[in-house]
Every structure is written in C-alpha cells, then in structure tokens.
Structure 1
Amino acid sequence: MTHHTPLAITAGTPADYERLGLSPEHIAEWEDGARTDNRRGTYEWWYFDAHLDDGAKLVVVFMNKDLSSPQHPLDPIIRVNLDLADGRSFTKIVHFAPEEWSASTDGADVCIGKNRFTGDLHTYRITAAVEDIAVDITLTGTVPSWRPETGYMLFGEDRDREFSWLPSVPQGTVEVTYTVEDESHTTTGVGYHDHNWGNASLLDIVHDWYWARGEAGPYTVIASYITAHRRYGYEAIPIFMLAKDGKIIADDSHHVTFETEGVYTDEHTKKPVAAVTRYTYVNDDDRYVVTFTRERDLTRDRMIEGVTGFKRLAARAVRFDGAYLRFTGSCGVQHFRDGVLVEEHTRPAIWELMYFGHAR
C-alpha cells in the first residue's frame, strides 16, 4: 500500500508551531502586523467587511500589491466595495505611490497615504477616503481571534510555497459612517476582519475556493473549501470554525465534510457555481450542518476585464480566465444530537467563489 503525501496541507504539527514562533492556544498581537517585507514574490492584505443595519454591505481592503502579481514591487492599493440598500453599487480600486505605504510589525497599523487600518485583535479603526467614497469604521470583536491551526497553508513536495490566513475578528459589532458623493450615513452592523499573506501567486497554488462567513442565532461561522492547483493534485483544504455565544465550539477541519448541490454554469464567467454549499461537522454525538443557499449574485467578474494593455495580452497568452463571484442568500445552522435536530437558525449571509483555474 503506497502512502499518499498530500501536496497541499494546513501546517499544524508541533514542529510547525515551533518553526513559526506561534502558540497553539494563544494568538499574539504581532500576528496581525506586517508578516512580509513587501519584497518581490510576496503579497499581503488586511480585509474588513460588514453587513450594516441600514441594508448596506461594505468591504474595505488595504493591500501592499495586486494579489495576482506578487512578483511586482510594492504597489499599495485600497479596495472599497459598497452595495447600498437602494440597489446602487460602488467598486473603487485605487493605487498609491510606494512611499505612501507603512505597516507596523508589532500589530495591525497600516497606513496608505492618509488612510489607516489599525487595531489590537479586539478593537479596530479603519478610515479611508477613495475618490467620492469615505468610510470611518470602528469594529469591536465579539468572537476571539482564531486561525486554522498555524494559519499557514503549505504547497508542494518541499512545502515551501505558502498562503497564510488570520481571522483576527471572526465577528464583531460595527459602527460606521460612510459618505457617498455628498450623502453621509451613520449606522451600525456586524463585521469581520482577516489578514492574508503569502510567497507564491495564488494563481499558481489555488484552483478555486469557496469562502463564507455568517451568523445565525447564537452561532458565528467561518467556512472555506480550498481546492489546490492541478499541479498539487487538486488537493482539498477544508477550513471551518463555529462559535456559539462568542465561544469557539468546533474548529477541527478533520471533522468536516463539504458538499455542493445545484451546480450550474454561470453564463458570464463560464465557471461551475453551486447554488448550495454545505459544511457538516461531526464530533461524537454532535453534528452541526451549516448550509449556504444562494439567492442572487452581487458580483460576477471575469478577472481579465479589470486588466488592460500589456498585462491583458499576457493574460490572454496564458489563457488566464479567472473569475470572482459574490453571492447573497441564507446561512442556516442546524445542530443535531444523536441524530435528532435540537436547534436551527437562519440568517442572510454573503459568500464568495474565487476561481483562478480553468473549469474542471
């Protein structure tokens, strides 16, 4: 019997923790600080999103460069997506000069020009003004910082290619003032912040991923299903965290199974999309079933459409046809004990499908 060595894993052995200087039990504030030195071949970003009580949805990302081109030098970018309840939708992607970038290694404190993303694993302040949109956000964590094992996903026989992820605030309360053109709105909501970095282009290591966060009743969930690039055998990396009343109750990915239903081909991107994604977590007598059911699309982007000039020609030459889709629908959480349904909750949610590879 041959022993299969997976070519894509989440690093989680005692040796991994020691090598990376991390604790299995405790997340340190410096972990949300800069983890790369912006050199060619690496990338890093700090991400925030919120569902606001006035019906708006907001995403703010501070990036040190475009995630598709880590081989480039420092190229700071702020991305803002704002979807208003009245149906208006705004996407801003603004580049800044390299000298306008600074990021502390002691904790989250990223400055791009006069824009700032700062926090201490519990309370964050994000201020950004890009073109005709300005945001002033305070995020206060209600679920503790978490990571899937070390947070490092390793690829290849030598496991020298990395993509890392730290959900610093899996869920929190948000107070935000956002201004669109001359209209100003102040509201509250539920928010999330994570931090990503790596040393290999995602296009070269990941084929696709589903990623979702949601809350329903007393539950908070983060769920992702990453499929590695073909060269890594389309190896699957499931990620799952379930918290109840602010305490993490399930996060061992070895107990998770993932399934899809109602798969169709999206007309615009030509990618296979699941109408339903379901994560089932079984531990002893308890079974938790988390189901995301699509109602409509918020975003259907072919990545090449955002690329111009020489980069577009180069992307066409390698037949790059990556796509990004964001959905809105419902997140349902069911808790079964000894096969009997004991609890069930449903709430609206947003999730995404990032598809770098060709449709399989």
Structure 2
Amino acid sequence: MAQARLMNQPPDFKKFGIDPQTVAPWEDGIRNTDVAGNNEVWYFDADFDDGSKVIVAFRPKTANGMQTGGFEPNLNMAITRPNGETTQEFSFVSLEDSSMSKEKCDVHFGPDYCTGNFKEYDVHVESMKQIACDLHYRALVEPFRQGTASLALGDKDEYFYTDMSVPKCEVTGTLTYDGQTVTVHGQGYHDHQWMNISPLAAFHHWLWGRMYTDKYVVYIYDFVTTEKFGFKRLPLFMIADNETGKVIFTTDGQVSVDTELADTPVGKQFPKTSRYTFHDGENKAEFEVTWQDIIEVRDMYGDAPKDQAEADAWAKQAGLSGMQKVVGSTKEQYDKAGIQPTYLRFFADGGVKLTLDGKTTESTGTMLYEYNYMGRVDPRADV
C-alpha cells in the first residue's frame, strides 16, 4: 500500500520555494510542463443576482491528451440562464496562439483570457458561437493554500494532485447568450489545480464546496484516496472572516467524519448529512451540511456503453469520426479498472460551530457542493 500525505512540512516548502506564510502571485501561474501525465486548470464560477450562473475553465491539455506529451490549449464555458436552461461550449486553439505565464495567472488562448493576482481577476471569452462573457472578480477573502497546496501520492511522492483557491469574490461584468448581452453582479470563486495523475486513479471520492454564512466563508475539499493509497482522507478546510477577509481557521489534518446515507438516482448511497469535526491544536471547527435538492446527476458508469463495439456504434450514429469522435470509457474499461464513476451536485443547508481561543461562535448558511464518487462501494472508504 503506497502512502498519501499533504505536503506541509519544512522540506516540502523548501522543495517548491514557497513561503509558508505568504501566497505569492507566481503560485497562480503555470506550474506544470507538457510531459505525459501532467494537466492543469484555472477555474472560475459565479452565481448572479438575477439567478444566472457561469463556469469557465482554461486547460493546457484535454483529459485524453493528458496521456501524451505536448499542449492542446482548450477551455469550456457554461452559462445557466435565470430560467435554469444551460448552454455549454468548448474552444480549442493552437499552441502558437496561446500563452501561459509563470509569473502569475495570465492565460491567453486566442482572444480568450484569464488574468489576475489573487486580488483582482479578469475573465474574457469571445471565441464561442452562442455564449460569451466579460467578467471582473474582486477577492473578498485571502487566497487559501493548505500547506504547499500539494497532495503527494506514492512512497516517493511520485504523484501529486493540488488545489489552491480564492473562495469568495464579488463578480461584475456581462454575460452574452441568446443574442443579448446582460449586465450581471454576484459572487464567485476561483481555483487553480495542477496534477500528474488522473483523479480516477488517485481518489475513491471527494466532497468539494464552499458555504457563505453571515459571519464566515467556509471552504472544504475532502479527498479520500483509492485503495492503492490506503483510502487515506486528506482534507483541505478553512474558515475566513467575512468582515476582514482573513483566514482564521485551517485544519491541521485531524478530522472525524460522521455521515447519514441516502439512496440516489445513480444506484449508490451518498451522504445525506455530513458532519465534520476539524482540529487545529486547541481550536476546533464543527461543520455540518445536509442536502435538500439534487441539482445535477452524472452517471458516467451507468450511461457508459457496455463495450467498445457499442461505443463505436453510438459514435457512428451520432456522425462522429476522426478528431470529432468523443473518446469515453466503456463499462468494460471501468470494470477492468475497478471503478464506478458517478457524480452528484447538491443544494444544501448547513452551518459551522467555531471554537477559537476558548470562544465559540455559530453561523448557518446554504451551500452548493459536489460529491464525486468515483470508486465502487467499499466500507473501507468511509463514504
């Protein structure tokens, strides 16, 4: 059984040249190379006052291209209208028409870009046929990096999976859809991830989301590794103060979890209620979330073709061939790998009880979060 750990020790900070006390702009620049196995994403989302939503993600490689050397710059954007209808598009550009800075987040894919410095970001997309955006993000809290941001997997730390974020921003600007450009205002989020291992190989499941309460911003990314890495729980968790924007609590890795499971449309039981108790020395945060509605279902296993012949028949019926062909896994491939990928996104109620320096405060709020359940049902994985 290979080990898994958060890279948060003095030699880890020295290895990456990171100041443990300060998050520097270069940390949001490109961190990986184009070698096989590597990939990266600069991700932005927002929920607006009119009920619309947006997701934008810039990547140096496609998921399939991760297995080969070389860059294949691409981005995806999804706009959800106030009536709930969503349009998603993808864009691909040549490497010659792209740039990714090492100095800060400064990514240009043709006419589309994201650029910023943990305090302010601009996100502009105009290359797509039906939708576009021109958005400005203003950070309302400090950037959050747990340790070095890297989870190390393997006895020699040969694999890594990372996340660092700006968990709450004010977002202003415009969205374009249905032939109209609409001025928007709301709240949003940015994170930057880079890795050299597929999440399907690294993790059995994770819970990821953030909660905005009257007092706090609460952020959680609760990773549980695959059997290969010992079903190890590696949580990222922080609480920031709404008034000051300062991060006032992060976990030291000591956590206990209690869940109540419920049936779901993908044939697995997911946690209906999740209760976490995080520690940081004598300080403690008790976080609880209960979903009220399932707002997105992706059953990658259940919807997959049973074998390659069925996958090829589907592609032919859809008129896809060559570079247009959608390359996906079949049930046969999933079974061989011992995985069963499923994904749900929830609207939930929750709250946090925070004990700092002997003083306890409580705050409640609503939360949108995802539960990416990639592995098979296994009691050892502590779902």
TM-score relative to the length of structure 1: 0.89
**Counterpart Cα distance in 2 of 1:310 and 1:90:** 18
Aligned residue pair count: 352
Residue 359 of structure 1 corresponds to 377
**Counterpart Cα distance in 2 of 1:68 and 1:281:** 36
**Counterpart Cα distance in 1 of 2:161 and 2:107:** 20
Quick check: 1:74 aligned with 2:71? yes
Residue 9 of structure 2 corresponds to 13
**Unaligned regions of 5+ residues in structure 2, if any?**
305-310, 316-324, 379-383
The verdict on how the C-alpha distance between 1:297 and 1:176 changes in structure 2, with shifts beyond 3 A counting, is farther
Q: Secondary structure at the match of 2:12?
A: helix
**Counterpart Cα distance in 2 of 1:256 and 1:232:** 18
Over the residues paired in the alignment, what is the CA RMSD in angstroms? 2.5
Quick check: 1:42 aligned with 2:38? yes
Deviation of 1:84 (Å) = 2.9
Select the structure that is richer in strand: 1
1:1-360 map, 5 Å? 7-67=3-63, 70-72=66-68, 73-129=70-126, 130-167=128-165, 169-244=166-241, 245=243, 246-261=245-260, 263-267=261-265, 269-282=266-279, 287-303=284-300, 311-312=327-328, 316-319=332-335, 321-335=340-354, 342-346=361-365, 348-360=366-378
The verdict on how the C-alpha distance between 1:43 and 1:182 changes in structure 2, with shifts beyond 3 A counting, is same
Deviation of 1:271 (Å) = 3.4
Deviation of 1:193 (Å) = 0.6
Query: Percentage identity across aligned positions?
Result: 27
Q: Secondary structure at the match of 1:238?
A: strand
The verdict on how the C-alpha distance between 1:285 and 1:27 changes in structure 2, with shifts beyond 3 A counting, is closer
**Counterpart Cα distance in 1 of 2:357 and 2:15:** 40
Cα shift readout 1:70-102 (whole Å, capped 9, x = no counterpart): 213422221223333322123333444444432
**Counterpart Cα distance in 2 of 1:147 and 1:270:** 35
Report if the CA contact (8 A) 1:118-1:126 is conserved: yes
Report if the CA contact (8 A) 1:240-1:256 is conserved: no
**Counterpart Cα distance in 2 of 1:243 and 1:175:** 22
The verdict on how the C-alpha distance between 1:354 and 1:65 changes in structure 2, with shifts beyond 3 A counting, is farther
The verdict on how the C-alpha distance between 1:332 and 1:84 changes in structure 2, with shifts beyond 3 A counting, is farther
Deviation of 1:302 (Å) = 2.6
Deviation of 1:314 (Å) = 5.7
Report if the CA contact (8 A) 1:69-1:201 is conserved: no
**Counterpart Cα distance in 1 of 2:188 and 2:47:** 7
The verdict on how the C-alpha distance between 1:34 and 1:342 changes in structure 2, with shifts beyond 3 A counting, is closer
Report if the CA contact (8 A) 2:222-2:235 is conserved: yes
What one-letter code is carried by the residue in structure 1 that aligns with 2:371? L
**Unaligned regions of 5+ residues in structure 1, if any?**
none
